[in-house]
Structure 1
Amino acid sequence: MVVVFLLILINRITTLWFNQPQFCPTVEWSRDAITFVNTSTAGISEGDIFIDANNTIYIAVSQKKQILIWHENTTYPMIIGRDDWSLIFSIFVPNTSEIYISFSDSKIIKWMASTNTFVNITHFQQPCRDIFIDIENHLYCSLYNLAVVVKTSVNGKTPMMIMAGITNIAGSTPDKLYGPSGIFVDRNLDLYVADTWNNRVQLFSSGKNIGKTVAGQSSSDITIALKRPHSTALDADKYLFISDNGNNRIVASGPNGFRCLLGCNGMGKQPHQLNHPMAISFDVHKNVFVYDAANKRFQKFDLQIYSCQNVPVTTRILSYILPS
């Protein structure tokens, strides 16, 4: 029994389809980004990015009704899509053989690589602003207009459960949401929600319907002011990375508190600036990709390896065990 339990535990811990790098406390990225995809490829108003553990990059080009796929070391993307699609809001890739896609017409479909076919999964009451699949294969959906986050099975056949918020009742109390956007579910099944119009990020511990503000001015902890946060992600040490959409920057927590990481010089279209950033993703080399929505481009900020070279080993270890 002990061996079986350990095997289940190991599988649960290691089954990740996306990258959650570990960083030193002084980590930095290049000030100027490289444009990975721009308007000439993507005439976009909505879009998303997902980078899997094989370093395959998936970019949703909403207005062109396409998903572009770059495998490691390839120059030109593979393209999947259909002319009858509505706008793409979100994508999630739980393994190399399928892509889950959320649309503005409230549908969720799955693309099967083995047969190059699309399968209807489910249809929600409202569009999913973001989707996420946890390590137990539950599909989460942030229903922006209904002020809730719900979950179902990946085949869409189990009844929906409300995981955060109260249906059709927006608010700023710990049990409510107002325009939930980006969602992230960690290995403990704790749910993080970018609560856009409350200017905060909420943490709903597994099985709890009362949230705690972990980023935003209303937090009881030392934090940072946010303006319409759109997406959130965790690194390997459970530090938060947030696309602070209304402030045109990417911010993150760490052992020394929150700080601005990218786009810290105000709104603009220069390589060091962002204009209403939305999705964020890490590649296997710890570079950061950002969907810079109003500039209609996907930006890549390269990791500055030297930024961690002079950090004492003891400092790095302490930074990993101190609470965020």
Structure 2
Amino acid sequence: MGLSLDAEGNNCVDDWGNDRILSFYLISEQKETVERYKKNSASYNRPKLTLCETWDSNAITFANRTFIGEQPTGIFINTNNTIFILDRKNSRIVVWQPGSMMPAINISSKSLTNSWTLFVNKEGDIHAGNSEFIIRKTFWYPIKPYTERAMKISGPCTGLFIDKNNYLYCSLMNSHRVDKINLNDETIMQSIVAAGTGCPGPLLNMLDHPHGIFVDMNIDLYVADTYNNRVQRFTADQFHGITVAGFGAQVHFILNRPTNIVLDADGYLFIVESQSHRIVRSIPNGFRCLVGCSSKSGTSSSQLHNPQVMAFDKIGNIYVTDTNNRRIQKFNVRVWSNGTYACYYYVSEGISLSRNSHIQDRIP
């Protein structure tokens, strides 16, 4: 048995006799406030979450087809908790202001036809990709949006991301690659390849119908390599990826059509599996299911049907495009009160189960 203590007073115990890792977390109101609302230099949320964080198994329907149409495929939540949802079928973006349950803005445009996803930068510019161009909508509020072309593409863009250096990345599903362009140079419209060869395949330099992408602060590119049932990481300017989840990864864990990948503040992965109808996360030496854990599609509040994309709000609540149910589901994170709590998780072939115990009740 070994014990380690971090700088914040949390400790981990290797309880080898019981085949488990036991973590004790020191939770205080001050620490909770500082960590969860830690200043974020990006336009999106990367909340500070513990390894044993849990979410309500039953979701709240944030928006149904009345507001977001028949085919919601993209969602983005900025650090002010403004929510942007892409209604693909109706070629529009619907915007909710922080704390509101009713949409405040409806942006309709022919340039959004066949768009799959969207990304909003720190300046509030909305980027969305149709089958020919990544378009950028500026000055979207309170006056009529101004639309300009930011990047020429060939086919639908199923993932969008802007990194800290203002490079725009587009995941090209039908071309089996990820392209990028430097937005700092407005004279350039032609992109360059960031990952993939253009041919589908399982090799480490290849992709097969990629979807969601994420670029961390080290400029490492993460790709939901959908038809290869894996998540790939490409370090900056490298074309051979490392499989970090799914088929071919060091830790055995089966993914079924992953379509989105998000990282929290500590770099742990949150993966949307469209055909297992669930969201899973990485933990040391394994993975853990968070929501939709029956892996069966359905319409109940605990089920999803072909989810595509997830996003965190400021405190770590999960919003997911429950596409075939034509709704946006919100899974609330369970926040702990002051005190110390322990969690432990068993690792068996990469499939992890966690249990929690604590000395005070959760805050509702």
1:67 aligns with 2:98: no
Secondary structure of the corresponding residue to residue 197 of structure 1? helix
Partner Cα distance (1:157, 1:68) in 2: 30
Q: State the 1:285 CA deviation.
A: 1.9
1:129 Cα deviation from its structure 2 partner: 1.1
Structural mapping, 1:154-233, within 5 Å: 154=183, 155=186, 157=188, 159-167=190-198, 169-219=199-249, 221-233=250-262
Please list the CA deviations of residues 228-284 of structure 1 after superposition, one character each: whole Å capped at 9, or x if unmatched: 100001011110000011111001102352011110122211000011111000001
Calculate percent identity across the aligned residue pairs: 36
More helix by share: 1
Give secondary structure in 2 for the equivalent of 1:40: helix
CA contact (8 A) 2:152 2:189 kept: no
Quote the residue 1:21 is aligned against: 47
1:295 corresponding residue in structure 2: 325
Q: Tell me which of 287, 292, 301 is aligned to 1:263.
A: 292
Aligned to 1:237: 266
TM-score scaled by length of structure 2: 0.78
**Aligned counterparts of 1:239 and 1:83: Cα–Cα separation in 2:** 37
SS at match of 1:208: coil
- After TM superposition, give the deviation of residue 309 of structure 1 in Å: 5.8
Pick the structure with greater CA Rg.
Answer: 2
Structural mapping, 1:302-313, within 5 Å: 302-306=332-336, 310-311=340-341
Q: Which amino acid aligns with 1:133?
A: I
Post-superposition offset of 1:68: 1.1
Match of 1:118 in 2: 147
Q: CA deviation at 1:312?
A: 5.4
Aligned length: 299
1:85 deviates by 3.9
Structure 2 residue matching 1:47: 3-state secondary structure: strand
Return the alpha-carbon distance in structure 2 between the equivalents of residues 278 and 173 of structure 1: 24
Per the TM alignment, residue 160 of structure 1 is displaced from its structure 2 partner at its CA by 1.7
Aligned partner of 1:276 among 306, 310, 318: 306
Q: Give distance in 2, aligned partners of 1:217 and 1:123.
A: 32
Measure the CA separation in 2 of the matches of 1:165 and 1:83.
30
Whether 1:98 aligns to 2:128 is no
**C-alpha separation in 2, matches of 1:37 and 1:156:** 39
Please state if 1:109 is matched with 2:135. Answer: yes
> How far is the alpha carbon of 1:42 from its aligned partner?
2.3
Distance 1:29 1:308 in 2: 18
Contact kept, 8 Å, 2:151 with 2:189, in 1: the verdict is: no
Instruction: Provide the secondary structure at the position in 1 that maps to 2:275.
Output: helix
Q: Deviations over 1:196-247 (max 9, x none)?
A: 000000011112110011000321x224200110000101111000001111
Amino acid in the other structure paired with 2:76 = F
Q: Which amino acid aligns with 2:192?
A: M
Q: RMSD value over aligned CA atoms?
A: 2.1
- Quote how far apart the aligned CAs of 1:183 are: 0.5
* Corresponding position of 2:84: 58
1:251 to 280, 283, 289: 280
